[in-house]
Amino acid sequence: MADCIFCKIANKEIPAQILYEDDKTMVFKDLEPKAPIHYLIIPKQHFDNVTNVPAGNDIISHIFTVAIKMAVKEGVSDEGFRIVNNTGALGGQSVNHLHFHFLAGRQMKWPPG
Ligand code: DGP
């Protein structure tokens, strides 16, 4: 998508601190980290948000597989981590390219604000 910042990161048109990528996904550091470890996991294909992923498409399960891979890689799979998806205006989504936040390295609180 032309004006999508995460598409530009996925296409390597603008820089990001990339930690992992495969044919379908990319993981990079969030610009405004909210935890010692704060990564964004995105599909390379553009979807505005989870509601636009067609039934039967396995991208969400693939993203969770990647998240668990990152947890193991960072050594936080035992102590714990949080995966967050914000959807739409009330959900707090500010970038309209599907993404999941991977947060770790501190005690998380509940409920989120
Ligand atoms: P959300 O509010 O759920 O849509 O999260 C968007 C996140 O994306 C937010 O934590 C800040 C991050 N972000 C926005 N623009 C950029 C960027 O250009 N590069 C990187 N690495 N992160 C970005």
Contact status, residue 43 vs residue 24, Cβ threshold 8 Å: yes
pLDDT tens digits, one per residue of 69-107 = 999 999 999 999 999 999 999 999 999 999 999 999 999
In which band, very low, low, confident or very high, does the pLDDT at 9 lie, cut at 50, 70 and 90? very high
Distance (angstroms) between ligand 1 centre and the Cα of 95 equals: 6
Q: Is the CB of 1 under 6 A from ligand 1?
A: no
Where exactly are the structural domains of the chain? 5-104
Q: Is the CB of 30 under 6 A from ligand 1?
A: yes
CATH of range 5-104; options 3.30.428.10, 2.60.120.20, 3.30.365.10, 2.40.50.140: 3.30.428.10
Active site residue 99: yes
pLDDT tens digits, one per residue of 12-36 = 999 999 999 999 999 999 999 999 9
Catalytic annotation, pick one of 38, 97, 99, 101: 99
Residue 92, C-beta contacts closer than 8 angstroms, at least 6 positions apart = 86
Q: Report the nearest atom of ligand 1 relative to the CA of 96.
A: 4
